Amino acid sequence: MILDYLTYAALALVLIIFLSSAIRILREYERGVVFTLGRFTGVKGPGLIILIPAVQQMVKVDLRVTVQVVPPQDVISRDNVSVKVNAVLYFRIIDPERAIIKVADYMAATSQLAQTTLRSVLGKHDLDEMLAERDRLNADIQEILDQQTDAWGIKVTGVEIKDIDLNETMVRAIAKQAEAERLRRAKVINAMGEQQAAEKLVEAGHILAQQPQAMQLRYFAALHDIAGERSSTVVFPLPMNLLDHLIPRSEAT
C-alpha cells in the first residue's frame, strides 16, 4: 500500500517536472526562438507554448524598444579638437531569428558598433558643426547603424547625442570667440545706424536747400531748443542771408 502511494507520488512529481519544462507562457511583447535537437524550427508566441523536454529548447526575445547608453568616446574633430561625446541609442528587434542566430550577443554587438560609428561620424566634422548641427549628425549616425544592424534583425529607431565635453582651454577660447562675434555685430549695427542717419541728414539738407524760409525756421527752432536748456552762454551761428532780410539796405543816391 505504501509502495503504491510512493509510486503515485513519484509519477506525479515526474508529471509536474515534465509540465514545468514543457509549458511556456510568453507575453505580448515576447517571442520564443525554438530549436529542435539544435536546429531552428520556428519563432513562437505570444501565449501558451508547449515544448518537448530534452528535445526542444527556446530562447526568449524581447521585442520592445531598448534604450542603450553609449559611454563617452574620445573624438578628434576635423579641426583637431579633442572632445568627449556620449549618446543614447534606441533600437528594437524586428526579426528574432536573425537576432539570435546571426550574432552571438546582439546587445554587446550593437553597443560596440554604436561606439565606433559615433567616433567615425563625428571625426569627419568640425567642432562648430558638432555643437550646432546635432540633429543632422544624429540622423547620419542612425542611418549608418540601421544599415549595419539590419543583418542582425535589429531596427535602430533613434540616436541622440547627449553631451559634448570640452577641456577648459577650449571653453575659454569659445567664450572669447563668442565675445568677439558680439562686438563685431555691435560695430556693424552702429555703423549701419550712422549710415542711415547720414543719409537722412543729406535728404533733409536737400529739402531745406530748396526752401530758404524753411532753413530760417529750422534756425529758430534750434534757438528755442537751446533756450530751454540750463546754459548761461549760447553760441549760435547766424547766416548772413538772414541779416539781409532783417536789416534794410540803403539805396544808393
pLDDT at residue number 252: 44
Summarize the confidence of residues 85-97 as an average pLDDT: 95
The CATH 3.30.479.30 domain(s) of the chain lie at 66-166
Mean local confidence (pLDDT), 206-227: 66
| Amino acid at position 36, single letter | T
For the segment 212-238, the average pLDDT, to the nearest whole number, is: 63
- Comparing 13-27, 83-97, 215-229, the range with the smallest average pLDDT is 215-229
| pLDDT of 253 above 90 | no
More confident residue, 17 or 105: 105
pTM score: 0.66
What local confidence, expressed as pLDDT, does residue 85 receive?
A: 93
**What end-to-end distance do the CA atoms of the chain give, in Å?**
169
pLDDT at 192 over 80: yes
> Which residues are registered as beta bridge partners of 74?
84
Tell me what pLDDT residue 225 has.
67
Say what the pLDDT of residue 28 is: 94
Give the alpha-carbon dihedral of 106, 109, 111, 117, to 10 degrees.
-130
User: How do residues 112-167 score in pLDDT, each as one tens digit?
Assistant: 999 999 999 999 998 888 888 999 999 999 999 999 999 999 999 999 999 888 87
Q: Name the DSSP class of 63.
A: -
Rounded to the nearest integer, the mean pLDDT of the chain is 83
pLDDT band at 54 (very low <50, low <70, confident <90, very high): confident
Mean pLDDT of 30-44: 94
Selected from 3.40.50.720, 3.90.1010.10, 1.20.58.220, 3.30.479.30, the CATH number assigned to the domain covering 66-166 reads 3.30.479.30
Question: Residues near 124 by Cβ (< 8 Å), separated by ≥ 6?
Answer: 78
- Contact yes or no for 58/66 (Cβ under 8 A): no
| Residue whose C-alpha cell reads 549710415 in the numeric block | 195
DSSP per residue over 116-157, as a string?
HHHHHHHTTS-HHHHHH-HHHHHHHHHHHHHHHHGGGTEEEE
